[in-house]
Structure 1
C-alpha cells in the first residue's frame, strides 16, 4: 500500500486550539473562587490599615492559584475528567500539587495574622501548633500521602471514583485542602524545628519524593487497563482507547510527580535557613560563661 493510501493515524489528544476552546460552567468552583478572592482581599485591606505592607509577589501567587484552579474546573480537564483517565489524573494531580503550592506561597495564614480577625488568627496559629498540624508539617508525611493517593489510581476503585459526580465534587473541595494542609506548615515562617531534624527530614523526603513517580510509571508501562474500565469514551474524534488513555495518564502523572518535588525541596531549604538563623542568633545571645557551660555539658554527653 502506498503512503498516500495508508490510513492516517489518529492522535489521541486534542489539538492546542481545541484544548483551549472547550469550557463549561462549574457553579461550585465559581463560588469557591469568589469567596477566596474576597477573603484574601479583605485581609490585605486589614493588613494595610494596620500598617503592614503585604508583598506583591504573594498576592500574585494567590492569583495564580485561583487562575489555575479555574482552568482546571472550567476548562477541558473539568469537562472530560469523568470520561478520560488523563483528564482525571491531570485535574487530581494539579489540584493536589500545583494549586496548593501557589496558595502556600501566598501565605494566607500570615496574612490572616496581619490583617484578619484576631480570633480566627489565633485559631489558625493553634491549628499549626497542634499535634495534627505538626504531623502534617513533617515533610516525610507529605510524599507518603501523595504516594498513597496516586497508588489508588492503580486499583479498580479509581474508575468508580472517576465516574462518580459526587466524587468529582468532593475532589474539587477536599484535594486542594489536603494539599494546602500539607504544604502550609512547610511554608509558614512560624513553624521551626532543630537543624538536625530538618537535615534528616530533607534526606528522607528526597527519597520518598522520588517514589511518587512510581504510580505514573506503572500506568505508563502496563499493557492492560488497571482500573478494569474498558468503555471507550465517545464524543470527540481524538478520544483515545482505554489503554491509550491510561498511558497518557501515566505520562502526565510521572511528569507532574517529578516536577512537584521541587517546591517541597525548596520549602525544606527555606525551613533549614530559618532554623539555622534562629540557632545562630540564640548562640550569639549567650554570654561567655553560658557558652562555656554549654560546651562543657556537650562534651560530657559525648564522653
Structure 2
C-alpha cells in the first residue's frame, strides 16, 4: 500500500474496525442489553459505548500527535504543522464525543423525559455539576475544548508541551469512569486504567500521526525509529496495566470464559499480535522504509496494525459497559464502616510480621520504580560499554531509593495508611526525606546527560528536553534554595491543614497527587543541598547548613503541633473506621506527630553530615588546586606578594626617617 493511499485510508481502517468490534462485543457481552428498571431505550444504551469509543480514539489522535511532534520534529518542519492540525481536529472531535457521552450517561443514569423544556435542562445541569460522573465528563469536555483552541492558535514548542500536558490532564477524569469507579479494588483499577488509557493513546495516536506525516517527510526512517521507541514504552505500559485491569475485572480464573472473560481474551490476542508486528518493524522493516520500493510491505503491515488497533479499541469500549463478574462489595447496612470509606475490607492488625508481608500494590508506582531501575541500569551499561566510569555506590543508592518507593507505595504502608494516621505519616517522612536522599545521590540527570546521545538535526529528544527544563525560568525559580525550602515546608502545613488531605483520602487521584508532590518537592529540596545534578544556583556550604537547620526546626515544630492537637485530623475518616485493634485514633495521631518530629530528623542528620563532608572536600580540593598552581608557577604569586610587602615596609621605613 502506498503511503499517500494509507494516509487517506488509515483513519478509516481504524474507525471502521473499531465500530464493528464495539457493536459485536456489545451484542456478545450484553453491554447494551435492556435495563431491568428504567430502561432509556436502545439509542442511549448503544450510543454511550460508541461515543466513548470516539472519545478514546480522538484522545489518542490528539495526544499521539502532540507527543510525536515534541520528540520527532521541530516547529519549522512542515510535518510539525501537520501534527498540530491533526491534534486540533482530534481535540475538536474529543469535545463533541465527550459531550455526547455525557448526555447519554445522563440519560442512562436518570432516564428523564427528554424535552427542550427548562426542567430537563435543570436536571442535566445538576448532573454535570453535582454528580461526580457528570462532573468528570464536563471537565473532559471543557479540557478538550481548550485543547482545540490551543493547538489551533499556538504552534511553538512551549505551547505544544503545554498542550500535551493539558491532553494528559483532560484524560484523568475518564479514569474514574467505567468499572474503575465501582470495583472493590477501586484504587488498583483507577491506576491501571489511567496507565492503560495514556499508553494506548500514545501508541495508537502516534501511529496515526506517522501515517499522516509520511508524505511530508523526506527520510521517514528517523521518524519511525523515534516513534518505535515511544511505541515500545507504550506497549509495556499497556500490557502491564492490561493484566491488572483483567485481574480487577475477572477476580477469579473461573470467570475466564464468561462473556467478559472472552472479551478480555480477545484483547490479549490483539495485544500479542501488535507486539509481534512491533518486533517485526524494529528488527526487519524500519531500516528499509526510505526506499519506496522496499517500503511497501511495511506500510501494508501498518494498515493491518491499524485494523488490529481498531479491534482492540472497540473491545475495550465494550468492556467498559459489559457486566463484570468480579464480586463487588456488599451494599447497604451489611457494609462495614471501613468498606464504606475505602471500598476495601479492614486489614488485620498491624504486627511486626505484617510490616514485611502485607502488600497493597499500586501498579502506577510499581511501574515508575521498575522503569526507573531499568532505564538507569541501561544508562550505566552504555557508559561502561564505551569505557566511561560511573560510581557503583550511586547505582546502589538509586536502586535502594526505587525499592523503598515500592515498599512505601505498594507495601504495608500503602496497606495501612488509610486506616492509621501514624502509618500515613511514616510513609510521608520516607517520601519527602529518605527516598529523595537516595535518588539525589543516584544523580540520574547527570547519568542521562552522559549516556544519551545529542541530536544534531534541531529536534529535541529526552536529553534536549531535560536540558531545556534545567535552564527554564520555572526551573530557576523552583530550584532556588529558598523557594525549594519554602515549598518543602509550606506544602507540609498547607496539605494537612486544608481539604487537600481529605482529597488524598477520599479520591485515589488525590492520593497519587500527594505521593508525586511530596516526592518531587523533597527531591528538589535535597538536590539544592547535596546533589551534583546541574541546577541554576546553589548556596555556599554554610548557607546550605543554615537552610537545612531552619527547615529541620520547622519540621520538628510541625510534628509537635500534631502531637499537641486536641482534635482529630480528618475525624470523619480516621475516627469512623470501626477498628477494634491498635491505638485509638487520637493516640495514633499522637504517634504520627512523634514520627514527624523524631524519625523525620534522621534523614536531616544524614544530609547535614553529607554537607559537612562535601564542604571539607571542597576546601581540600581548593587547597590542592592552589598547591598545584604554586608548583607550576614556582610560587610566583607568593613571591609577588612578599615583594609587595617588602615594598610597603621599605616605604614605611623611608617615611620614618
Q: What range describes the TM-score normalised by the shorter chain of this pair? A: 0.7 to 0.9
Q: Quick check: 1:77 aligned with 2:441?
A: no
RMSD over aligned Cα, in angstroms?
A: 3.4
Distance of 1:204 and 1:156 partners within structure 2: 26
Equivalent residue for 2:494, pick from 144, 152, 174: 152
- The CA deviation string for residues 12-56 of structure 1, in whole angstroms up to 9 with x for no partner, is x72201333321221112211221111101101111112123222
Tell which structure's C-alpha radius of gyration is larger: 2
- The aligned residue for residue 207 of structure 1 is 550
Q: Is this contact kept in 2: 1:155–1:227, CA < 8 A?
A: no
Distance of 1:250 and 1:215 partners within structure 2: 8
Q: Quick check: 1:92 aligned with 2:417?
A: no
- The CA deviation string for residues 89-113 of structure 1, in whole angstroms up to 9 with x for no partner, is 2222211111111111112122223
| 1:128-143 map, 5 Å | 128=470, 132-133=474-475, 136-143=478-485
- The aligned residue for residue 439 of structure 2 is 103
- The CA deviation string for residues 178-212 of structure 1, in whole angstroms up to 9 with x for no partner, is 32223234334365999993323323432332221
- The aligned residue for residue 4 of structure 1 is none
Gaps of 5+ in 1: 1-12, 297-303
- The aligned residue for residue 244 of structure 1 is 587
- The CA deviation string for residues 62-97 of structure 1, in whole angstroms up to 9 with x for no partner, is 121121111111112112323332222222221111
User: CA shift at 1:219, angstroms?
Assistant: 0.8
| 1:111-190 map, 5 Å | 111-118=447-454, 120-121=462-463, 123-125=465-467, 127-128=469-470, 132-133=474-475, 136-152=478-494, 154-157=496-499, 158-189=501-532
Distance of 1:196 and 1:95 partners within structure 2: 24
Q: Is this contact kept in 2: 1:216–1:251, CA < 8 A?
A: yes
User: CA shift at 1:233, angstroms?
Assistant: 4.7
Equivalent residue for 1:55, pick from 367, 388, 391: 391
Distance of 1:281 and 1:233 partners within structure 2: 64
Q: After alignment, is 160-169 or 133-142 more displaced?
A: 133-142
Q: Quick check: 1:41 aligned with 2:377?
A: yes
Q: After alignment, is 213-222 or 144-153 more displaced?
A: 144-153
Q: Is this contact kept in 2: 1:233–1:239, CA < 8 A?
A: no
Equivalent residue for 1:66, pick from 383, 402, 413: 402
Q: Quick check: 1:16 aligned with 2:330?
A: no
Distance of 1:271 and 1:20 partners within structure 2: 35
Inter-CA distance 50–134: structure 2 relative to 1 (3 Å threshold): farther
Distance of 2:480 and 2:538 partners within structure 1: 13
Inter-CA distance 265–139: structure 2 relative to 1 (3 Å threshold): farther
Inter-CA distance 162–273: structure 2 relative to 1 (3 Å threshold): farther
Q: Report 1 or 2 for greater relative contact order, CA contacts < 8 Å, sequence distance ≥ 6.
A: 1
Distance of 2:496 and 2:370 partners within structure 1: 35
Q: Is this contact kept in 1: 2:476–2:536, CA < 8 A?
A: no
Q: After alignment, is 284-293 or 150-159 more displaced?
A: 284-293
Inter-CA distance 274–129: structure 2 relative to 1 (3 Å threshold): farther
Inter-CA distance 150–72: structure 2 relative to 1 (3 Å threshold): same
DSSP 3-state at the match of 1:23: coil
Gaps of 5+ in 2: 1-348, 456-461, 645-657
- The aligned residue for residue 5 of structure 1 is none
Relative to the length of structure 1, the TM-score reads 0.77
Q: Is this contact kept in 2: 1:48–1:115, CA < 8 A?
A: no
- The aligned residue for residue 6 of structure 1 is none
- The aligned residue for residue 262 of structure 1 is 605
